[in-house]
Structure formats: C-alpha cells, structure tokens
Amino acid sequence: MSDLEAFRAEARAWLDENAPDGVRGMKADELNGVWGGKRCEFEHPDQKVWLERMGAKGWTAPTWPAEYGGGGLSKEEAKVLSQEMKALDLPPALIGFGLTMIGPTLLRFGNEDQKQQHLPKIIRGEIRWCQGYSEPGAGSDLASLQTKAERDGDEFIINGTKVWTSYADQADWIFALVRNDNSGIKQEGITFILIDMDDPGVKVSPILLISGKSPFCETHFTDVRVPVENVIHEIGAGWTVAKALLGHERTMIADTFGSSSGGTRKPGERSFLSTLAVERVGERDGKISDPVIRDDVARMEMETKAFGLTTQRTADAAKAGHQPGPESSMFKLYGTELNKTRMELMVRILGPDALGWEGDGFDEFALDTTRDWLRSRGNSIEGGTSEVQLNVIAKRVLGLPA
C-alpha cells in the first residue's frame, strides 16, 4: 500500500468515526455553511461538534502548516481528504473569508506574530472576518479609496467609511485598505491593516437590497485607534497585498457559482432545473413539454457542468496552497453571467408565479426565486465589476496594451 493509499484509509476511518450523524448529507459551499466567530449560530448542534473535531485535527485548513494549527497535509493528501469527505457526503466544517481570503494572505505576507495570533483562531472557527475594500467613492476604482490612516506614535487613527462590507454585522475582525499618504500615484500610500470590530469608533449599518434581504453593510470608522503592528506587509505597500487577496476572492466567487451549478448526481437522475421545469411546465413523452425551455435547460446544464469542473480544478489548487492567477478574473466574469442566466431561466420556468413579492397566492419557493433573481443582478458588480475583469483579462491573459 502506498503512502497516499494509507492516508486515504486513515482519513476515511477518522471521518467515519468522528463525523456526527447530524452533518451527514448537509450541503455547504463557499458562502453557505458555518462561518464561525463569536456570534456564530449553528443550524444543528452537530455542526458545532463537527467544527470542533475538524478544527482540532487541523482539517478545516488541511494544507496550512501544522505549527499554526493547520493539517500540514500535502496537496495530494488534501485532495484525497476532499474526495473522502464527498464520498461520505460530509460538508466542510467551516467556510468564510478567514479560510478563503485573509488566511492565505497572512501565510504569504504576514509576520510570525500575526500568523500566530490569527491563523489558529481562523482554523478553529473562533473568529469571523469581513473585507473593507469598497467605499462610497471607490468601488470599481478601488485605488481611489479615501479612508484615512494618520500615524500617532505606535498607532494609526482611522477615519472613513467602507461600503458593501459583507456580513460586517457578524464579523469579529475586518481586513481593510486605508490611505496613509496622498503624495504619490493613487496606488501608492495605501496600507493593508487588520481592525478589531469591537474597537471603539467602529459602527456598522446594514444595507437592504431590492431583493428584500442582504448580507451587506456600511462600516464607519471614527477616530478608531489601531496598533501599527496590525499592518500586513509594509506601510504604504497595501496595494500589493490587496491585489493578491483579490485573486483569492475571485476564485472563491467562481467556486461558489461552480458548486451551485447543479452539483453531482447519479446517472439517470434529473437535475434540479429539469425537475423544476417538469413540475412547472409539464412533461410529454418523458421530456420537458416546452421545447424552448427544454433546449435552454439542456444548454444551461452543459455549460454549468463544464464550468463547475473547470473551476473545481482551480479551487482545489487554491486550497492546496497555490496562488490564484489572472484566470480567476476569467472565472469570475463567466460565472457571474452564468448565474444571472440561470436565475432568468428559473423565472421563465415559473412564469406568472414569479411575479409575486409577498402574501397569499405564491408559494415560498417562487417568492425566494424572484428575490434571488433580483439579487443576482449584482453578481457582475460585486467582487470587481465585469468591466474590471475584462481589463485584467485583456492585460494579463491576452497581453494587450494598456
């Protein structure tokens, strides 16, 4: 038996023995599952047990170094672990920006004290993070940010406002870009800094979207004093850190759309979209009765399957410690358009049932679909607009002149 086969047997036995019954079969992706943190609420008590056991084992972050509490696995072992979890129908014990964005960034740019302070807590799900990039006047043009950081001895005094900070009202820490110098070009004088959300002067205001629900918030900083030791990399060199982290964010978004594209199913089983179409439109001779809907469902299934398999390779590589490249912009661009098309198709399948907003006459699924369709319109804006992704692809993938 090879070392990898031995590890597979060991992993399978450990997972089978330690996975509580309540988490088996539960679904989770990059944005849907247990995020951890001090305000964490579990849908099922077994999720807490699962998180504690996987965190103690280091398998919430299987390839992160063991000295920080990670699993210390090779990328081949991590792939085997992922395969065994799927075989046992087990969800990730932990998701969130700690694992997908700030953790990999700390491993690359953080100093030893910063790694020791934050990485073990991320792995055990003890802290939840949000991202402080966009501002009211600096969204797609991120380098125009104006949240000010003024040096005062061993501290920075932070003043400004961040917007579209996902789950800021539930986060314990925020990783943020702040401007410490206006004298150079706009990409200079930016610092990447970590801020405790419990610090005096931090205020969070939820934002309600047209869909009627939202994870987004405005985050205000008024004379917030942050130790200089919370700066990641170098003062004024935050743009380098920010670009690296954006690659992780785009990979995460693409992975989310890939994993929501229909998932795996056994041969002969109908997909979710096919089942929905049969239920709502009807069936004739074993096929969806409306030929236009039938063609569109088939096309969507082929595109989403191909996209899911492609992004899975990149997501697996990222989880194994590889830094994302410009392909993350290609996936983000394609995935957002695919998700918008999928939601439009679902609304077409529902027909008049998709016209409801609340009240009697519409079932809960139809109401949720309508709201999710409205929410999907923002997919090509959040995480960097499609226009920004096209610029990245033109310059870094195709090599076109700026």
Query: Looking at the annotation, which residues are catalytic?
Result: 249
**Rounded Cα distance, 62 and 92, in Å:** 11
Q: Which amino acid is at 279?
A: E
> What is the pairing mode between strands 129-132 and 173-179?
parallel
**Rounded Cα distance, 68 and 119, in Å:** 6
Sign of the C-alpha dihedral computed for residues 243, 245, 248 and 254 taken in this order: negative
Q: Which residues of 163-200 are buried (b: 16+ CB within 10 A; e: fewer)?
A: bbbbbbbbbbbbbbbbbbeeeeeeebbbbbbbbebeee
Q: What is the DSSP code string of 167-232?
A: TGGG-SEEEEEEE---SS-TTSSEEEEEEETTSTTEEEEE---TTS--S-EEEEEEEEEEEGGGB-
**Rounded Cα distance, 64 and 58, in Å:** 8
**Rounded Cα distance, 354 and 377, in Å:** 16
**Rounded Cα distance, 15 and 37, in Å:** 24
Q: Residue 116: which residues within 8 A CB-CB, separation 6 or more? A: 68
Phi-psi region of 248 (alpha: psi -120 to 50; beta: other; left: phi over 0): alpha
CB 167 within 8 A of CB 215: yes
Name the helix (H) or strand (E) containing 333: helix 327-350
